[in-house]
Each structure stands twice: as structure tokens, then as C-alpha cells.
Structure 1
Amino acid sequence: MLKIKIIAAALVLSVATANAAFAREPASYADAQAGVHGNAQAIDRALQAIGPRLAANAERRMRALHQCNKEAAPLKNDTWGSAQTDRYRACMAEHGQRA
């Protein structure tokens, strides 16, 4: 019984110590806004660096979607079973895109 009390006391003490160790002073509103502003600037710089590549990828995907939907449209699933889905997926794979 004494062992259980000692273990319970050690557990309570360790939890209390851990909470005190991780406690910190809350940031002021100005500090929080500066952090948010800095993060927004970093994200903006990253997007500007990869923006043209993303635009090109989006353009290629849009063309592939349009062409593959046009190819698969005549094959209705109610008459051709899964041929419409199969043709669409194959077309997207031919264009290097995920269906």
C-alpha cells in the first residue's frame, strides 16, 4: 500500500513540475501580430517563387480534364458499364494526371 502512495505522489509531483516547466508568459498582442505578419510575408515569398510552376501545372491539368471528359462523355455508364470511367482514367494517365 505504501508503494502505491509513493508512486501516486511521484506521479502528481512530476505532472505539476512538467506543467510549470512548459508554462510561459503569454505573448502580447503586438508580438502576436508581428509573428502573424512575418509568417504571411514568408508564405507570400514562397508562393511568388513557385507561382509560375503552379500556374503551368494547373493549365496542363485543366486541358487534360477538358479533353478526357470530352472523350469519356459518349460512353454512358448505363449502357457501357464502367467503360466511361475506364476511358476517363486511362486518358488522365496518358496525360500524366491523377484521375
Structure 2
Amino acid sequence: MEHTAHSGHGDHCSDENGEVRKSHHSNQTKTNLISRLNRIEGQIRGVKGMIEKDTYCDDVLNQIASIQSALNGVGKLLLENHMRSCVIERIQSGEHEVIDELLITVNKLMK
């Protein structure tokens, strides 16, 4: 995954007071994430249609498994980007609490 340098125009993890936090995805990463989420959105609409048409449950469950896998892919991409940018920056600036924050988030992802 390509990581671009900061432009310094409000795309940092936090401001001087640590209050405003934003991601700073490259345009390529953002496009990739949105494309994946659009596909997932379509898959979810497809599952609703399958249920409306009384599709065989195993087929619906397999489609749900596919959606979960796709969501996991989005989560992994976001996690990698977060670790390569915000997490490193916050550790370098002495904000070691980011590790606890990240561990809590990873635990939620792995439920």
C-alpha cells in the first residue's frame, strides 16, 4: 500500500491540542476503500432481494459469508494504513496511549 506524505493542510491525525483527528488516506487508498464499500453495499442489497424472493437459506448464508470477508478486507486495509501513519506518528510524538486504543479496536475487529 502506498503512503503519501502529509501536505500539512488539516490532514493530520490530531491538531495541536489533540482534539481533531482525521485520517490522511492517499487518494488511491480512498478510491479503493470507497469502491470496495460500494460493492459491499450492492451485495447487501442483493441479500435483501434474496430474502424477499425466499432464496434457499444456504445460498443466502454463503452470500453473507462473502460480505463478511469483503468487510474484513476493508478493515485490514484501514488498519494497515492507520498503523503506517497515525499510530507511528503518535508513538513518535510520545502518545503511547495509541497502543491501548489500537488493541481495543483490534479486539473489536476480531470478535
TM-score (norm 1): 0.34
**Structure with the larger helix share:** 1
Which one has the largest radius of gyration?
1
Choose between structure 1 and 2 for higher RCO, CA contacts under 8 A separated by at least 6 residues: 2
TM, length-normalised to structure 2: 0.31
